[in-house]
Amino acid sequence: MIEIRDLYKSFGPLEVLKGVNLTLEHGRVMVIIGPSGSGKTTLLRCFNLLEIPDRGSLTLNTVKLDFAPSAKIPQRTVLSLRQQTGMVFQSYNLFPHMTALGNVMEAQVTVQKRSKEEAKATAMVLLGKVGLAEKAAAYPHQLSGGQQQRVAIARAMAVEPEVLLFDEPTSALDPELVGEVLKVIRQLAREGMTMVIVTHEMKFAADVADRIILMDQGVILEQGTPQQVLEQTKNPRAMQFLNRLGREE
Ligand SMILES: Nc1ncnc2c1ncn2[C@@H]1O[C@H](COP(=O)(O)OP(=O)(O)OP(=O)(O)O)[C@@H](O)[C@H]1O
Ligand SMILES: [Mg+2]
């Protein structure tokens, strides 16, 4: 289970998160939507301490962290929390000098100290899962954007994280490649993977999410089931955002 309580984060004078509260049960999918600059990426990066919040608390299973401007989080706590999270970025960030197989093996060998044989076997299973077993020997530049993103998903899963975090996983892709990546994420949702996904793909959000969070200016405007947030909100700002999206589609 993931729980965030009263989370605050500023960059200098700019207050970006202003008291965020949320809970995500194991095996559930949370989708975060909201206008540009509302703090979605910052919130996601707080989940694995790529950003250290100023105040509030974060619980991931048995690890509970309380943040305060004066308190320094021990590096081993940061590492133990990161090992429980897998992050998939907008721009895949694969290691360019490693094959697809090498990319999915890397953290297993360096972080988890698995043997090469074991890492390779796991990597092949995961590449199969994302439909890329036959591309194991290809380097990133030999793969399409959608294929690279699927390798990035396999890589994030390789350390068996408690939760997968996605920051707009399809927004850098050509439209015809979006579907293959969303399909992989949908499949993971069906298998019970716990996930937090920032996306602008509303149709996808509506059918993959157990819970939708609509952020605006550093606070959660609305949260609930897709139906509650996307169809039944009475919040004027939420309605304005959703209407604008509707017109763009
Ligand atoms: N490292 C940083 N230093 C200073 N300001 C930052 C930093 N990261 C984010 N910000 C600012 O914080 C605010 C929220 O940014 P964030 O990236 O979380 O928004 P977002 O909701 O993900 O937007 P988008 O939909 O455009 O990705 C923005 O005003 C941004 O400029
Ligand atoms: Mg963002």
pTM as predicted: 0.94
Please tell me the residue having the least CA distance from ligand 1 atom 27.
Answer: 36
Nearest atom, ligand 1, residue 198 CA: 22
Taking the C-alpha atoms of residue 134 and residue 248, their distance in angstroms, rounded to an integer, is 37
Q: Write out the DSSP string of 72-108.
A: PPPHHHHHHHHHTEEEE-SS----TTS-HHHHHHHHH
Please tell me the distance between residue 233's alpha carbon and the centre of ligand 1 in angstroms.
Answer: 25
Judge if the beta carbon of residue 16 lies within 6 A of ligand 1: yes
Residue 247's SS3 state is helix
Judge if the beta carbon of residue 37 lies within 6 A of ligand 1: yes
Q: Which residues contact 70 (CB under 8 A, 6 or more apart)?
A: none
* pLDDT interval class at 190 (50, 70, 90): very high
User: What would the pLDDT profile of 198-235 be if each residue is shown by its tens digit?
Assistant: 999 999 999 999 999 999 999 999 999 999 999 999 99
- Mutation test of ligand 1: which of 15, 18, 42 has the most ligand atoms closer than 8 Å to its C-beta? 42
Please tell me the residue having the least CA distance from ligand 1 atom 28.
Answer: 37
**Helical segments of 48-201, H only:** 75-83, 100-110, 116-129, 145-157, 175-190
Taking the C-alpha atoms of residue 39 and residue 26, their distance in angstroms, rounded to an integer, is 24
CB environment 18-48: b (16+ within 10 A), e (fewer): eebebebeeebbbbbbbbeebbbbbbbbbbb
Taking the C-alpha atoms of residue 85 and residue 27, their distance in angstroms, rounded to an integer, is 14
* pLDDT interval class at 70 (50, 70, 90): confident
Amino acid identity of residue 79, one-letter, is: L
Nearest atom, ligand 1, residue 200 CA: 25
Joined tokens for residue 244: 């604008």
Q: Which of 85, 93, 1, 96 is nearest to 51 (CA)?
A: 85
Judge if the beta carbon of residue 40 lies within 6 A of ligand 1: yes
User: What would the pLDDT profile of 71-119 be if each residue is shown by its tens digit?
Assistant: 888 988 888 888 899 999 988 889 999 999 999 999 999 988 999 999 9
Please tell me the residue having the least CA distance from ligand 1 atom 26.
Answer: 36
Ligand 2 is an ion; residues with CB less than 5 A from it: 40-41
Judge if the beta carbon of residue 38 lies within 6 A of ligand 1: yes
Please tell me the residue having the least CA distance from ligand 1 atom 12.
Answer: 16
Other C-beta atoms lying within 10 Å of the C-beta of residue 217: 14
Q: What pLDDT score does 79 carry?
A: 87
Q: What pLDDT score does 52 carry?
A: 94
* pLDDT interval class at 39 (50, 70, 90): very high
Please tell me the distance between residue 51's alpha carbon and the centre of ligand 2 in angstroms.
Answer: 13
Measured in whole angstroms, how far is the alpha carbon of residue 208 from the centre of its chain?
13
Please tell me the distance between residue 9's alpha carbon and the centre of ligand 1 in angstroms.
Answer: 11
Taking the C-alpha atoms of residue 46 and residue 246, their distance in angstroms, rounded to an integer, is 29
Judge if the beta carbon of residue 53 lies within 6 A of ligand 1: no
Please tell me the residue having the least CA distance from ligand 1 atom 4.
Answer: 11
User: What would the pLDDT profile of 146-183 be if each residue is shown by its tens digit?
Assistant: 999 999 999 999 989 999 999 999 999 999 999 999 99
- For residue 128, pLDDT over 90 is answered with yes
Please tell me the residue having the least CA distance from ligand 1 atom 7.
Answer: 11
Q: What angle do CA 54, 83, 185 make, to 5 degrees?
A: 100
- For residue 249, pLDDT over 70 is answered with no
Q: Are 199 and 169 in contact (CB under 8 A)?
A: yes
Taking the C-alpha atoms of residue 1 and residue 212, their distance in angstroms, rounded to an integer, is 16
Taking the C-alpha atoms of residue 44 and residue 38, their distance in angstroms, rounded to an integer, is 12
Q: Which of 201, 248, 213 is nearest to 90 (CA)?
A: 201
Q: Which of 75, 41, 76, 45 is nearest to 58 (CA)?
A: 45
**Mean pLDDT, range 172-196, rounded to an integer:** 94
Joined tokens for residue 80: 């133990």
Judge if the beta carbon of residue 11 lies within 6 A of ligand 1: yes
- DSSP letter assigned to residue 21: E
Q: What pLDDT score does 246 carry?
A: 75
